[in-house]
Amino acid sequence: MTAFTRSLGGTEVSALGFGCWAIGGPFDAPAHAAGWGEVDDAESIAAIRRGRDLGVSFFDTADVYGTGHSETLLGRALESDRAEVVIATKFGNTFEEGTGVMTGANASPAYIRRACEASLRRLRTDWIDLYQCHLGDLDAGTADDVIATLEDLTSEGLIRAFGVSADDPEYVRRWIGHDHCAAAQFHLNALEDAADMLELTHAHGTAAIARGPLAMGLLSGKFDATTRLPRDDVRGSGATWLTAFDADGRPQPGFLDALAAIRECLTEDGRSLVQGALAWIWGRAGHTIPIPGFKSVAQAEENARALEYGPLSAGRMEEIDALLKPLSV
């Protein structure tokens, strides 16, 4: 089978990446849980390596996930494969490594350099392929200083490109006109479109990394109206930015209704629901790279095998659009 790839800053990567938030394990933001519950490190490493076996070459994490633990696992799993993979990580949220507690935010040039050096150490690498700002609300002057620092790190060879993780098109616009800005990461899935961000990134030739491609697991189909996720899971934490889950960890009824309406369309041609949801993102725009999370080898296999199917057909995309229009999510 011909490899299904996307361009990321001029480098060809698998059209699907692995999002490594969940494998970081439990950690806390100042006001709520920020992890996805307990993890098995051996299983996580096996899952990463299984993804490699199935053609995944792009891995996205952040220094704060598990307060350094996700990067450490990724470094262990990919060290022998480093030249063949593209690793993206993020900076901006502060923490004491290994404590499981996020403490705040810092975007000063000195901090960015310290964070980069720490990520290089944990990832067991001499360079970071894509270094992303994890803060989506910097003022214009601070953002410009961050961009200048990232350009310096690129010139020094510590990073190869940079990007930003944010959902506001006007904020992202400040970043993506720069030569070494290769990607914008934003929330996108079959139930939550991001037309303005897709248009902006396409216009600039910038990769669109789709965060939350499975609506934080809701598009796996394993949750229903009786589900209530625990407080130590970010989806049950009551975080104000959650969309598919309410403050008590229950799926939003509108999301469940929308999923029921399009389930059959997503599972055409033998796809699982997960694979159909990922195929929708590819069908939505030709520069998208979804990064579904995983905590097991089985989940990694299901995600990676979406590459065998590719995008949904244009006709199926139109049908899904028509089914969702009357609904509110």
Mean pLDDT of 236-265: 96
Torsion of CA 84, 63, 180, 303, to 10 degrees: 50
Q: How many CB atoms are located within 10 Å of the residue 104 CB? A: 10
pTM score, whole prediction: 0.97
Percent of the chain that is helix, strand, coil (3-state, to 5) = 45, 20, 40
3-state secondary structure of 191: coil
Nearest C-alpha neighbor of 256 from the set 290, 211, 215: 215
Question: What's the token pair of residue 269?
Answer: 């041609």
Return the minimum-mean-pLDDT range out of 1-5, 219-223, 227-231: 1-5
Q: Exposed e or buried b for every residue in 297-320, given b needs 16+ CB within 10 A?
A: bebbebbbbbbebbbbeeebbebb
Residue 62, phi-psi category: left (phi > 0), alpha (psi -120 to 50), beta (remainder): beta
Domains along the chain with CATH numbers: 5-215+281-311 (3.20.20.100)
3-state secondary structure of 162: strand
Nearest C-alpha neighbor of 16 from the set 291, 276, 272, 295: 291
- Structural contact between residues 231 and 249, judged by C-beta atoms closer than 8 angstroms: yes
What are the angstrom distances between the C-alpha of 103 and each of 99, 139, 182?
10, 20, 29
Rounded CA-CA distance 218/207 in Å is 25
In the structure, what pLDDT confidence band is assigned to residue 327 with cuts at 50, 70 and 90? confident
Mean pLDDT of 179-202: 97
Q: CB under 8 Å to 314, separation ≥6 — which residues?
A: 283
> Considering Cα of 34, then 39, then 41, then 47, what sign does the dihedral take?
negative
Residue 238 has pLDDT above 70, yes or no: yes
Q: What is the per-residue DSSP string for 89-126?
A: EEE-EEE-TTSSBEEEE---HHHHHHHHHHHHHHHT-S
What are the angstrom distances between the C-alpha of 299 and each of 118, 155, 168, 210?
29, 38, 30, 18
In the structure, what pLDDT confidence band is assigned to residue 2 with cuts at 50, 70 and 90? low
- Determine the pLDDT at residue 177: 87
Tokens 């953002």 belong to residue: 143
Each residue's pLDDT tens digit, 10-30 = 999 999 999 999 999 999 999
Give the up-direction half-sphere exposure of residue 203: CA atoms within 13 A in the CB hemisphere: 11
In the structure, what pLDDT confidence band is assigned to residue 329 with cuts at 50, 70 and 90? confident
Question: What's the token pair of residue 122?
Answer: 């944990």
Residue 1 has pLDDT above 60, yes or no: no
Helices (H), the chain: 41-53, 69-78, 109-123, 140-155, 169-176, 195-204, 253-266, 273-284, 297-304, 314-324
Mean pLDDT of 78-101: 97
